[in-house]
A and B are shown apart, each in its own frame.
Chain A
Amino acid sequence: MSTTVANQKASAGKVAAQEVLGLTGNEAAAEALKQVNPDVAAVFPITPQTELMHKFAEYVANGAVDTELINVESEHSAMSATVGASAAGARAVTATSANGLALMWEIVAIASSLRLPIVMPVVNRAISGPLNIHCDHSDTMGCRDLGWIQLYSEDSQEAYDNMIQAFRIAENKSVMLPVMVTFDGFIISHTMERVEIISDDKIVRNFVGEYQPENYLLNAQHPVTYGPLDLPDWLFEHKRQEIQGFLNAPEVIKQVGREYGEISGRSYDLLEKYRMDDAEVAVVALGSTAGTAKAAVEELRAEGVKAGLVKIRCFRPFPGKEICAALAKCKAVSVMDRCISFGLEGGPVFNEIRGAAYGAGLKVPMVSHIYGIGGRDINVTQIRGVFEELKKLASGGKIEAVESYVGLRE
């Protein structure tokens, strides 16, 4: 096969025994949390994240973990307590979706500015309103500039794998940034899939390692002040340090992805190039839609169309150069956004890629397809329709509309 698939099996000799289970995305993420056994988890229920924390609360009740579980009274307090715990020197987690993320917004930004390596699964759901509990990416895309690393998952397997890697990435001394692991609400969170988990918890714990905080509130010898007033004479410098964490992160994410491959047989990169070596028409997607797009690509390939997919796993830091390199030989590209950027032509991922393309000198015709808002289904036929448009552009067709919608009644 000429395609480059990131999830290649590593050399069989080193790979730890895997157990094959049928798990939903929520269960898979909870399983990862169980194996890591964090110090503190502060949680508040919100659909579709609830099942994740039900499962974890069950682990707490049964003694499978000895994590201190704080059942807070809101997501705002969930993130606040997680910040307090992390600053105190604990490995701390929380989990949320959509409006919960919106409610904790203020503290989401504070967590990253205090350089606290918190890990938070976010089960993607449309931000209200009106109320909708189903998947789109308006929640995590909306906080893309709040200083968190964002890893998107294609399926339950990746939700599990990303969760484990997230701790290593966040806690790396050259990074020290919180990490969001996202997976699509219901589509992944509530769908049972085949998931391989590392059988031995110890191997996971060994991989993640002991958390060794440097400056923390519970250090009796060296008390610290967290979150001082930071005025115009210093805030910029502190933000520059945060930028450095993001500049250092890609190598760390890749390294952790390789090392994870050694114990699991599933290695990870910033993005996955699927059938891209000779692709003439390509879509860029993230989350579960990447899986649907792969099916479309396979069908088209069978028909002789040189179709490919770039799946973004790591959206923050944004791998613009890598994406543009992957798209360099294409004749037409669609970036598929499960999110609207109101008042801007094209979705957020599209605009970031188009921006990166300018810097990379990539002049491929590029369009934005908005789809899947509020949990609207996206299927193989629809993605094939996107490729049909790309084929026209690739053979000299004009871009009629930069932004268009898939699966919308107009």
Chain B
Amino acid sequence: MALNLKKLSHKPEMLAPGHRACSGCTAPFLIRLALKMVDDDEKLVTSIATGCMEVVTTIYPFSAWRCSNIHSAFENSAATCSGAEAAYRVLSKRGKVKEKFKFLAMGGDGGTYDIGFQSLSGAMERGHEMLYICYDNEGYMNTGIQRSSATPKGAETNTSFAGSAKPGKEQHRKDLTACLVAHDIPYVAQASVHNIRDLGDKIYKGLHCGGPAFLNVLAPCHRGWRIGVDQGVEYARLAVETNFWPLFEVEKGAYKINYKPKTQLPITDWIKGQGRFKHLFNDKNKHIVDELQAETDRKWKSLLRREAEALEDAKAAAPASA
């Protein structure tokens, strides 16, 4: 489905204004968009992991959710959602629920890459018809900016300081999207908050693929990235233009890159304005910048190869033309 922005603007907002997210936070926008990606005859049940988006959207007695939402704990958004989805199947079968429902689980990168990884893996493996969206801001931002396995190498956080002995985070980030591709589920994709059409399409596809789906969305946190309040979307864009965060999707195992920069920008264009990387711009740490560039290039090339493979496979599978 190509996203029709005009039509979208007439859909009711399902995340009420008045939530307590920081100004300039990119995640509420992602949720607002996601909640509109159901058809008119579909209702939505959402589950959310403990984290920024949970605490800013619900503080008793207030809730910003105009669809049903459940928050249970930090690591179990997927398992909780899978239970609700199972309940839907059986209650529909038993004639107790008549309406059509879609299921959306969410979590930040801490709740998805790290503590919620097992719960997510289990829910995906079991084949629940649900979309899991990770809003990835590359760290535990809700607890005060600590490193997660999604934090890029070299980034400074409150548990990976840049000091005389350490240069910030010492490991490259985990490729969670690849982990989810390995689950052989119908739909896996990466998206970014700066590209609304691409993001909306992917959410819609994920919710309507007939099985488990996973969407990893880069959603910058200006507090944690040490950028301007108004720069979140711009830094999401730069992550894509540098190929640090490629936009791609994997449908039934076939890779498709949804956006290829005409000219790939150097990784420094993405990291140079971010306070969390500022210590990398001296001679001592230059090798880390080089490593970031090399890793970005290596991953991009690998992605290109996988896309080429998918094209080959599609060609081989197509009936021979006359």
Contact = CB atoms under 8 A, between A and B. Distances in A.
A84 B91 contact: no
Contacts of B99: 218, 220
A90 interface: yes
Contacts of B194: none
**Which of B61, B69, B86, B94 has its CB near the most chain A CB atoms (within 10 A)?**
B86
B83 interface: yes
Interface size class of B (residues with CB under 8 A): 35 or more
A107 B83 contact: no
Interface size class of A (residues with CB under 8 A): 35 or more
A244 B134 CA distance: 39
A107 B63 contact: no
Contacts of B93: 66
Given A70-B82, A90-B90, A230 B60 contact: yes
Contacts of A378: none
A82 B122 CA distance: 14
Nearest to A104: B76
B288 interface: no
A40 B66 CA distance: 26
Nearest to B69: A225
Interface stretch (B5-13, B23-31, B51-59, B205-213): B51-59
Interface in A219-259: 219-220, 223-231, 234, 238
Contacts of A39: 87, 90-91, 94
B65 interface: yes
Contacts of A229: 54-55, 58-60, 71
A288 interface: no
B84 A88 contact: yes
Nearest to B48: A227
A106 interface: yes
Interface in A199-231: 217-220, 223-231
Contacts of B88: 88, 218
B113 to A, nearest CB: 17
Interface in B126-184: 126
Nearest to B105: A84
Contacts of A107: 72-73, 76
A114 B97 CA distance: 22
A335 B180 CA distance: 53
B75 interface: yes
A72 B119 CA distance: 9
Given A76-B75, A223-B67, A225-B65, A231 B83 contact: no
A406 interface: no
Given A77-B122, A223-B65, A83 B87 contact: no
Interface string B95-127: 011110100000000000000001101110110
Given A85-B87, A107-B73, A225 B82 contact: no
5 contacts: A76-B79, A80-B80, A84-B47, A218-B87, A226-B68
Interface of B: 43, 45, 47, 54-55, 58-63, 65-73, 75-76, 79-91, 93-94, 96-99, 101, 118-119, 121-123, 125-126
Given A84-B81, A218-B101, 17 more contacts: A40-B87, A68-B86, A70-B126, A72-B79, A73-B122, A76-B76, A77-B76, A80-B72, A80-B119, A83-B83, A84-B85, A84-B86, A90-B86, A223-B65, A223-B66, A225-B63, A225-B65
Interface of A: 39-40, 42, 66-68, 70-74, 76-77, 80-90, 92, 106-107, 110, 114, 217-220, 223-231, 234, 238
